[in-house]
């Protein structure tokens, strides 16, 4: 086999997602025949100690506190942004201007206009982009999409989606970047995942009616100062799809006891699907084709028939984990960089999700249904 070209990574941020991306790169390199040899080149963080510690533990050759110098380094091919949301735009635009491919965590930017600017800049510069909507990389979510597209459920009538966790349930928890009045809140943070999944399964949302609620009105910031919280802790939206189906979504980051309820239910005239991310190696399928008296939801367990599960494990039921979704995300992205496929979820798709989030906020503010731009 010919020697593969290197793809030199510059990572910004070494927190939850920074580490998850490195695990994703590492597992992807073992599980898939990637078109590139991944080189962990430089890692950037605000503190030198954090950057150095991450470089040593995660295997980067260099550590820096200067992300600007890193993104213009000619030795870097791909800039990977896992910093807080408000920094995504500036970092991505700088990387795009330097001709780098850009992998950026969701939400792509606090505002849809910024996300659009980023998508347009990437298209104009001809670089390949990816946004971290990792739940779409689950082989069983893809199976659900395929079953819906193939008509196994008949005509889809209704959709229910939710993304609920409890990481903001404690009122004594600090004011973080996720509470930033420009683009923060539960719907931007996790409702974005729910919206991406809803459209991946049922196609475009054309109209929606939102309702957003702030439950915990103040939080202390890092300096101990009390800060007002203006963003939503809970958001809901009624949805109308271009297909004619209707549905609803809830985003809730104060859902006590919930750790990862990225769930959906899809109902059709001939069947139904139920899925929970807390048991994401299972998909539940009900079919009206089953004999009367034998009907019920059957549990489909993930296995090698559900590609690319078999790249990680030959045995069904042994289960994939969160970081393996990141590895699948990385593999699809690298194939797109190599020109083997279209961007799986590039900046244009990230802009679309941000547009939907803004529609939910606008509808909640105005107390009225809104038409989603672009449809």
Query: According to the binding rule CB under 6 A, does residue 45 interact with ligand NAD?
Result: yes
Q: Interface with ligand NAD includes 368 (CB under 6 A)?
A: no
- 194 near ligand NAD, judged by CB under 6 A: no
Q: Within 13 Å and on the Cβ side, how many CA atoms surround 79?
A: 28
Pick from 17, 119, 121, 205 the residue near ligand NAD by CB under 6 A.
17
In the complex with ligand NAD, which residue's Cβ is closer, 148 or 349? 349
321 binds ligand NAD (CB under 6 A): no
Give the separation between CA 7 and CA 34, rounded to whole angstroms: 10
Q: Binding of ligand NAD at residue 73 (CB under 6 A)?
A: no
What number of CA atoms fall less than 13 Å from residue 309's CA on the CB side? 22
The smaller minimum CB distance to ligand NAD, of residues 13 and 308, is found at 13
Q: Which of 9, 14, 73, 240 binds ligand NAD (CB under 6 A)?
A: 14
Whether 142 contacts 149, CB under 8 Å: no
Closest CA to 153 of 265, 3, 237: 265
For ligand NAD, the binding residue among 24, 41, 82, 115 (CB under 6 A) is 82
Count of positions (residues) in the chain = 375
With 0-12 / 13-18 / 19 or more C-beta atoms within 10 angstroms meaning exposed / middle / buried, residue 184 is buried
Question: How many chain residues bind ligand NAD (CB under 6 A)?
Answer: 21
Cα separation values, 260 from 154, 266, 338, Å: 29, 19, 33
Asked if 86 is part of the footprint of ligand NAD (rule: CB under 6 A), the reply reads no
> Of 40, 83, 196, 229, which lies in the binding site for ligand NAD, with binding defined by CB under 6 A?
83
Interface with ligand NAD, residue 67, by CB under 6 A? yes
Q: Residue 134 interacts with ligand NAD (CB under 6 A)?
A: yes
CB closer to ligand NAD out of 272 and 329: 329
Compute the least distance from the CB of residue 133 to ligand NAD, in Å: 7
Give the residue, chosen from 53, 72, 84, 287, that forms a contact with ligand NAD under the rule CB under 6 A. 84
What is the bridge-based pairing of β-strands 282-287 and 298-301?
A: antiparallel
DSSP for 35-102, written as a single string: SSEEEEEEEE-SSHHHHHHHHHHHT-SEEES-HHHHHT-TT--EEEE-S-HHHHHHHHHHHHHTT-EE
CB of 129 to ligand NAD, least distance (A): 15
Q: Interface with ligand NAD by CB under 6 A: which residues?
A: 12-18, 44-46, 67, 82-85, 87, 105-106, 132, 134, 189
């Amino acid at each position: 086999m010919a020697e593969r070209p290197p793809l030199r990574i510059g990572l910004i941020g070494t927190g939850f997602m920074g580490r998850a991306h490195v695990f994703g790169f590492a597992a992807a390199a073992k599980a898939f025949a990637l078109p590139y040899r991944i080189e962990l080149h430089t890692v950037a963080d605000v503190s030198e100690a954090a950057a150095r510690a991450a470089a040593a533990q995660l295997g980067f050759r260099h550590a820096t506190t200067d992300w600007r110098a890193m993104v213009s380094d000619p030795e870097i091919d791909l800039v990977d942004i896992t910093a807080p949301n408000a920094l995504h735009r500036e970092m991505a635009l700088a990387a795009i201007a330097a001709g780098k491919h850009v992998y950026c965590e969701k939400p792509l930017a606090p505002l849809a206009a910024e996300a659009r600017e980023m998508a347009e800049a990437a298209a104009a510069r001809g670089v390949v982009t990816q946004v971290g909507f990792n739940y779409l990389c689950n082989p069983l979510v893809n199976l659900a999409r395929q079953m819906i597209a193939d008509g196994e459920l008949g005509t889809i009538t209704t959709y229910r989606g939710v993304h609920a966790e409890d990481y903001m349930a404690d009122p004594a928890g600090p004011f973080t970047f996720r509470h930033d009045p420009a683009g923060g809140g539960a719907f931007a943070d996790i409702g974005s995942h729910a919206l991406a999944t809803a459209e991946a399964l049922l196609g475009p949302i054309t109209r929606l009616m939102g309702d957003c609620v702030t439950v915990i009105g103040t939080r202390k910031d890092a300096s101990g100062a009390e800060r007002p919280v203006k963003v939503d802790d809970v958001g809901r939206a009624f949805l109308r799809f271009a297909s004619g189906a209707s549905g609803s979504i809830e985003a809730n980051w104060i859902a006590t006891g919930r750790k990862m309820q990225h769930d959906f239910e899809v109902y059709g005239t001939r069947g139904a699907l139920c899925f929970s991310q807390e048991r994401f190696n299972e998909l539940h399928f009900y079919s009206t084709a089953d004999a009367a008296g034998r009907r019920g939801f059957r549990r489909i367990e993930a296995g090698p028939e559900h590609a690319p599960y078999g790249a990680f494990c030959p045995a069904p039921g042994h289960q994939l984990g969160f970081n393996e979704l990141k590895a699948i995300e990385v593999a699809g992205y690298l194939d797109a960089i190599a020109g083997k496929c279209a961007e799986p979820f590039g900046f244009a798709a990230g802009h679309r999700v941000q547009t939907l989030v803004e529609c939910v906020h606008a509808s909640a503010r105005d107390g009225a249904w809104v038409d989603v731009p672009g449809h």
